[in-house]
């Protein structure tokens, strides 16, 4: 992390502050939030203009759990980000943005969803405890696609709460598409990692109707959603990067279910142990 920060300082001549964070660990999330607050209080950094919930993973083993005992995919892709946003929101600028990196795999009606495995019910309690007490765990693909469904629902529920509170902070969901140049497949066999980066696989994915993109384009699109003035009114939207174009599109049918989203939100609060005085007033 420090080497990347040094590279940014050298190339861009900008100030870079780093904070250690393991998004799968709720204790680490709390520690990172405290560090951010302290830096703002000391005047070392400005209030946060954007919070980008981009970390994520697919873990291709039967069962693995976070330090708090939650299934690792759900802990990493969902609960860590949920808590981080709750804790950082009071530190954001009045016109800040929260961008959640989602995935087209959340929608079982798309080819992306069909290739990975259909998302199941977005029940936070069940997902956090997947595979426990002798129960058969979900497949790695379904754990991932369901975590991304929950991510989209978090983004929408946050947008609704901010809107009701009269806040100008925006909450946006972003599908970067399939980007094989990242380290996302690092836990897969080497041959799978190699194959995913070939032009043949890219061609096959396109022919099958998959959402494909590049690291450069999706990275730039994510940055635009976070800070570009043209997306100031994007709260509550789902944006997709596909073949060099960023478009606002519809997400899955179930992602718009407000009752499911409310249950997911409240159950997530209990799972992360959010205290009453920790939740920002505009989210209550």
Domain housing 267: 48-279
* Total domains, the chain: 1
- Tens-digit pLDDT profile for residues 164-203: 999 999 999 999 987 665 555 555 555 444 445 555 455 4
Q: What is the pLDDT of residue 178?
A: 79
Q: What is the pLDDT of residue 194?
A: 44
What percentage of the chain carries pLDDT values higher than 90? 69
Residue 156, pLDDT above cutoff 80: yes
Q: The CATH number of the domain where 204 resides is what? A: 3.40.50.720
Going 126 to 130 to 134 to 136, the CA torsion angle's sign is positive
Token pair of 39, please? Answer: 């830096």
Residue 16 is assigned to a structural domain of this protein: no
The DSSP line for 115-156 is: HH-------HHHHHTTT-TTPPPPPHHHHHHHHHHHHHHHHH
Spatial contact of 261 and 85, defined as CB atoms under 8 Å apart: no
Q: What is the pLDDT of residue 192?
A: 47
Q: What is the pLDDT of residue 201?
A: 52
Average pLDDT over residues 137-148: 95
Residue 40 is assigned to a structural domain of this protein: no
Three-state DSSP class for residue 105 = helix
Residue 25 is assigned to a structural domain of this protein: no
Whole-angstrom Cα distance, residue 243 to residue 240?
Answer: 10
Q: How far apart are the first and last CA of the chain?
A: 35
Q: What is the pLDDT of residue 7?
A: 75
Q: 225-230 long-range contacts, Cβ below 8 Å, gap at least 24?
A: 225/97, 225/99, 225/172, 225/174, 226/49, 226/50, 226/52, 226/97, 226/99, 227/49, 227/50, 227/97
Q: What is the pLDDT of residue 189?
A: 55
- Tens-digit pLDDT profile for residues 9-63: 777 678 889 999 999 999 999 999 999 999 999 999 999 999 999 988 888 876 8
Mean pLDDT, the chain, whole residue set: 89
What percentage of the chain carries pLDDT values higher than 70? 87
The DSSP line for 61-90 is: SS--B-TTSSBHHHIIIIIHHHHHHHHHGG
Residue 145 is assigned to a structural domain of this protein: yes
- Tens-digit pLDDT profile for residues 80-106: 999 999 999 999 999 999 999 999 999
Spatial contact of 131 and 101, defined as CB atoms under 8 Å apart: no
């Amino acid at each position: 992390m420090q080497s990347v920060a040094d590279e940014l300082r050298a190339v861009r001549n900008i100030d870079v502050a780093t904070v250690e964070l393991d998004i799968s660990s709720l204790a680490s999330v709390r520690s990172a939030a405290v560090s951010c607050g302290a830096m703002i209080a000391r005047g070392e950094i400005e209030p946060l203009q954007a919070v980008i919930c981009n970390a994520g993973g697919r873990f291709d083993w039967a069962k693995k759990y976070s330090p708090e005992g939650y299934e690792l995919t759900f802990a990493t892709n969902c609960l860590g980000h949920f808590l981080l946003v709750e804790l950082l929101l009071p530190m954001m600028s009045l016109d800040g943005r929260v961008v959640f990196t989602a995935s087209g795999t959340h929608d079982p009606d798309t080819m992306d969803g069909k290739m990975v495995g259909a998302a199941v019910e977005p029940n936070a309690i069940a997902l956090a405890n997947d595979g426990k007490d002798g129960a058969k765990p979900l497949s790695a693909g379904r754990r991932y696609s369901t975590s991304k469904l929950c991510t989209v629902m978090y983004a929408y529920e946050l947008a609704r709460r901010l809107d009701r509170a009269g806040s100008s902070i925006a909450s946006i969901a972003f599908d970067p598409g399939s980007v094989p140049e990242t380290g996302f497949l690092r836990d897969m066999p080497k041959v799978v990692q190699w194959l995913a980066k070939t032009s043949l696989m890219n061609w096959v994915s396109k022919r099958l109707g998959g959402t494909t993109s590049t690291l450069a384009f999706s990275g730039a699109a994510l940055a635009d959603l976070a800070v570009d003035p043209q997306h100031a009114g994007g709260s509550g939207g789902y944006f997709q990067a596909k073949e060099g174009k960023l478009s606002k599109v519809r997400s899955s049918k179930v992602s718009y279910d407000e009752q499911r989203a409310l249950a997911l939100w409240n159950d997530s609060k209990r799972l992360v142990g959010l205290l009453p005085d920790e939740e920002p007033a505009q989210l209550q």
